[in-house]
Amino acid sequence: MITENEADQRLDRFLRKYFRRASLSFIYKMIRKDIKLNGRRVREDTILSIGDQLTVYMPEEKFRELTAGKKKSTVKKQFKVVYEDEDILIVDKPRGLLIHGDSREKKNTLANQVCGYLQEQGSYDPTGEKTFTPSPVNRLDRNTTGLVIFGKTAAALRSFTRLIRQRDGVEKYYLAIICGRLETALVLDDRMKKDERRNVSELADSSEGKEAVTYIRPIECGDQFSLVEARILTGRTHQIRFHLANAGFPIAGDSKYGDVRINGRLKKHGITTQLLHACRLKFDDSPDIPEDLRGKVMEAPAPSDFIRAEHLLIHGKD
């Protein structure tokens, strides 16, 4: 029987998650020959509903082979919980932690740590959930710290993903220490594209790029560096880092888009990566926002290394 976390998705996408070891061609062959929904053959794009009866005609041994279960997460928790209810978890991510795995690190990720935490809390059972895993709504780079929203249910994940994508209901704010004196606000509005091979963003024309909008507000200026607040309307790869560098104010310590000469000096003070922190999430009072979050502001204080860098670069004190 289709559960709440399994509903509202296409049959073929559900089956690809459920039979995680099956090839795509095998999935579509199953739909044509070995699957009935509520006693009938259906198309691959059929949307599943709660309570639907899905019947699979397959030898038990083959079924077990293709649905090998998820393992319980055992990675140590490094994040801080900022807010939690039945549907949503908001966490404060530390520096150096990937949200999802890559070719070098597959196990110790924020996503795996969150799943482990929710298993310990009893709100997520990987053996019972065949197609849903609690997942992040927004993304941060490995060395960007701060607030990440996780959907604990499929419905919440879909809802908040839509809100973020449509720029409706959630405002995202960041703190950054940038090179140079910035004394007036900036509105950075460009079209960007990602170079997948080099994993960097670059300017693009209207036919290739996607809109990227960033508002920058200066908070405090030193002689050579400034503390600023950034608000993003879109969520492109490295958006704030690229936008500030392109405007002539690269983030201090940024190895991808920063000033090599300045970064070399900063390394002597232990500053080796971008000083960027996702500090605040502001929820409006629209009906699309869960009632407990309407009108609320969630905040994460800047980490100690960011504060130390602020004292050093803005105030000239170590």
Judge if 183 and 236 occupy the same domain: yes
Q: Give the integer Cα–Cα distance in Å for 271 and 275.
A: 8
Establish if 142 belongs to a structural domain: yes
Number of structural domains, the chain? Answer: 3
User: Rounded to the nearest 5 degrees, what angle is found at the Cα of 221, between the Cα atoms of 217 and 222?
Assistant: 155
Domain of residue 280, residue span: 170-313
Q: Give the integer Cα–Cα distance in Å for 145 and 251.
A: 14
Establish if 75 belongs to a structural domain: no
Establish if 26 belongs to a structural domain: yes
Establish if 306 belongs to a structural domain: yes
Which of 22, 38, 66 lies at the terminal end of a domain, its last residue? 66
Contact 93, 145 (CB under 8 A): yes
Q: Give the integer Cα–Cα distance in Å for 102 and 295.
A: 36
Confidence (pLDDT) at 220 = 96
What is each CA distance from 96 to 78, 110, 126, 144, in whole angstroms?
A: 11, 10, 26, 8
Establish if 98 belongs to a structural domain: yes
Confidence (pLDDT) at 216 = 98
Judge if 15 and 37 occupy the same domain: yes
Judge if 145 and 174 occupy the same domain: no
- Residue 152 has which token pair? 């604990």
Judge if 133 and 184 occupy the same domain: no
- Residue 199 has which token pair? 């994993």
Judge if 192 and 301 occupy the same domain: yes
Confidence (pLDDT) at 318 = 58
Confidence (pLDDT) at 129 = 75
Judge if 47 and 90 occupy the same domain: no
Establish if 2 belongs to a structural domain: no
Q: Give the integer Cα–Cα distance in Å for 109 and 90.
A: 16
Q: Give the integer Cα–Cα distance in Å for 129 and 58.
A: 20
Confidence (pLDDT) at 244 = 97
Confidence (pLDDT) at 74 = 64
Give the CATH number of the domain where residue 51 resides: 3.10.290
pTM of the shown model? 0.84
Task: Say which residue the tokens 């990987």 belong to.
Answer: 126
Contact 266, 178 (CB under 8 A): no
- Assign 3-class secondary structure to the chain: CCCCCCCCCEHHHHHHHHCCCCCHHHHHHHHHHCEEECCECCCCCCECCCCCCEEECCCHHHHHHHCCCCCCCCCCCCCEEEEECCCEEEEEECCCCCCCCCCCCCCCCHHHHHHHHHHHHCCCCCCCCCCCCCEECCCCCCCCEEEEEEECCHHHHHHHHHHHHCCCCEEEEEEEEEECCCCCCEEEEEEEEEECCCCEEEECCCCCCEEEEEEEEEEEECCCEEEEEEEECCCCCCHHHHHHHHCCCCECCCCCCCCHHHHHHHHCCCCCCCCEEEEEEEECCCCCCCHHHCCCEEECCCCHHHHHHHHHHCCCCC
Judge if 212 and 294 occupy the same domain: yes
Is the Cα torsion angle 159, 238, 131, 126 positive or negative in sign? negative
Judge if 235 and 103 occupy the same domain: no
Give the CATH number of the domain where residue 287 resides: 3.30.2350.10
Residue ranges in the chain whose pLDDT is less than 70: 69-74, 103, 105-106, 318
Establish if 294 belongs to a structural domain: yes
Which of 149, 164, 179 lies at the terminal end of a domain, its last residue? 164
Judge if 289 and 272 occupy the same domain: yes
Which of 164, 199, 222 lies at the terminal end of a domain, its last residue? 164
Judge if 179 and 296 occupy the same domain: yes
Judge if 306 and 177 occupy the same domain: yes
Q: Give the integer Cα–Cα distance in Å for 225 and 53.
A: 62
Judge if 258 and 285 occupy the same domain: yes
- pLDDT tens for 187-233 read 999 999 988 888 889 888 877 888 999 999 999 999 999 999 999 98
- pLDDT tens for 200-211 read 898 888 778 889
Establish if 3 belongs to a structural domain: no
User: Rounded to the nearest 5 degrees, what angle is found at the Cα of 237, between the Cα atoms of 81 and 124?
Assistant: 35
